[in-house]
């Protein structure tokens, strides 16, 4: 089914949404689960889309949830398993279309549960982008991770200021997410959420609260891109 949407701004999750990093992330977690006698399958069921800090606190009480431990763990994801990461089909092409003409102010951003180092590596090595978007919210910049909407609220506020929208002006927004925690965060921020079936199936995504689900980013077409926003056609499942 084809639906038409006219958002003024768009925010993306990164891992599982623009980049398929599930295999390398799960391989890294399996190693640490084995070392600490934690059920990996149970962990995956409850950790997708959640910051490493919160995963450590909930499942690995013997590991300090500090920046040093988090950085050491996350460095293994691409350090040891980079070959398992790949672009979600259509991501690069979609981001280029969203940028449009160089004269246009960027109207999209990324909100990820990964740290800045991990997210920057995903963007450069997998998406092959020269730099992150101007609105780039990572784990270190929020006090509460997904499913709390803090990250998305902050991202939308930055986009509002960047585009010079008045605080009282309605900011029609879309969030693209792949995990229930992120979907709940997007819904709580007031955005229309589109789920990507890279990690969970359509039913799980809809149950978490997304309005639509798609297979990948090839299903999103930018029909128009102007200073006022976007006109998208989305082929939903």
Number of residues that make up the chain: 237
Q: For the chain, state the CA radius of gyration.
A: 17
Nearest to 77, CA basis, from 106, 117, 131, 41: 117
d(CA 145, CA 142): 7
The H-assigned helical ranges of the chain are: 22-36, 40-47, 52-59, 67-81, 91-99, 116-121, 150-162, 180-188, 202-208
So which residues are the catalytic ones? 83
Q: Residue 105 carries which DSSP code?
A: P
For 51, phi and psi rounded to 5 degrees? -65, 145
């Amino acid at each position: 089914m084809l639906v038409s949407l006219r958002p003024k701004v768009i925010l993306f999750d990164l891992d599982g949404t623009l980049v398929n990093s599930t295999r390398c992330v799960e391989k890294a977690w399996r190693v640490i689960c084995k070392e600490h006698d934690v059920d990996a399958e149970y962990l995956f069921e409850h950790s997708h889309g959640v910051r490493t800090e919160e995963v450590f606190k909930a499942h690995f009480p013997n590991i300090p949830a500090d920046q040093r431990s988090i950085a050491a763990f996350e460095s293994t994801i691409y350090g040891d398993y980079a070959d398992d990461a790949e672009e979600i089909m259509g991501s690069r092409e979609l981001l280029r279309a969203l940028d449009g003409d160089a004269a246009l102010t960027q109207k999209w951003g990324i909100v990820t549960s990964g740290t800045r180092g991990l997210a920057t590596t995903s963007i450069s090595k997998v998406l092959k982008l020269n730099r992150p978007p101007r609105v780039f919210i990572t784990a270190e910049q929020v006090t509460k991770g997904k499913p709390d909407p803090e990250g998305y609220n902050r991202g939308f506020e930055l986009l509002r200021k960047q585009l010079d929208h008045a605080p009282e002006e309605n900011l029609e927004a879309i969030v693209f997410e792949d995990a229930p925690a992120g979907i709940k965060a997007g819904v709580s921020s007031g955005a229309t959420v589109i789920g990507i079936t890279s990690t969970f199936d359509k039913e799980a995504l809809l149950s978490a609260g997304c309005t639509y689900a798609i297979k990948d980013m090839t299903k999103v077409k930018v029909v128009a891109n102007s200073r006022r926003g976007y006109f998208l056609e989305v082929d939903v499942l």
